[in-house]
Amino acid sequence: MLAAVGAQSRPVRTPAELDAVDALVLPGGESTTMWRLARTFGLLEPLRRRVAGGMPAYGSCAGMIMLADRIEGGVAGQETVGGMDITVRRNAFGRQVDSFEADLDFPALGAEPLHAVFIRAPWVEKVGDGVEVLSRVATADGDGTGNIVAVRQGRLLATSFHPELTADARVHALFLDIVKEA
């Protein structure tokens, strides 16, 4: 998806590789495993420094959890990279079998709805000052407000869904615009 919008990408597994990039995508996966591996391989503190220093970063699903300052439903002692003044609820939509797809209003991407794939996804429970809510998904109880599933704070972007699983590259293009602005 990054190549489709004109970005060059490479894997980052070490602090030296992190130093060589201008921006970072924290992908979906398992947030507790990502945290433990980042800690084990000496990446957690360098990631925190780079994000705090203004490096653009995009977090998708587990990546959203990694960019959050606060987690609800995490495992004991679970840490994040942080940087976004948000509280996320881990596995908010349920278990793997509760995964779903939905069309979202996402005004920052234009008038056409964005088709989103949610896999054991988090949602944002609270946002702090300076956090822009970009999209919500309808709640099961139909209360009309919806759960927050996309946010931006400065150079940080996060979604609770996986835009890389569709043919729509608009979220990645938005992130590339953030990188270019930086």
Q: In a 3-state reduction of DSSP, which class is residue 52?
A: helix
Listed residue (19, 21, 18) closest to 8, CA to CA: 21
Pick the closest to residue 58 from 129, 181, 154 (CA basis): 154
Catalytic residue among 61, 72, 79, 132: 61
φ/ψ of 3, rounded to 5, equals: -60, -35
124: left (phi over 0), alpha (psi -120 to 50) or beta: beta
**Residue 162 annotated as catalytic:** yes
Among 79, 101, 164, 172, the one annotated catalytic: 164
Q: Is 61 a catalytic residue?
A: yes
Residues forming a β-bridge with 126 = 87
Asked whether 148 and 127 are in contact (CB, 8 A), the reply is yes
Instruction: Spot the catalytic one: 72, 101, 112, 162.
Output: 162
Quote the CA–CA distance of 175 and 172 in Å, as a whole number. 5
Straight-line distance from the first to the last Cα atom of the chain, in angstroms, rounded to the nearest whole number: 20
- E strands within the chain? 24-26, 57-60, 68-72, 84-89, 100-104, 114-118, 123-127, 132-137, 147-153, 156-159
Catalytic residues, by residue number, are: 61, 162, 164
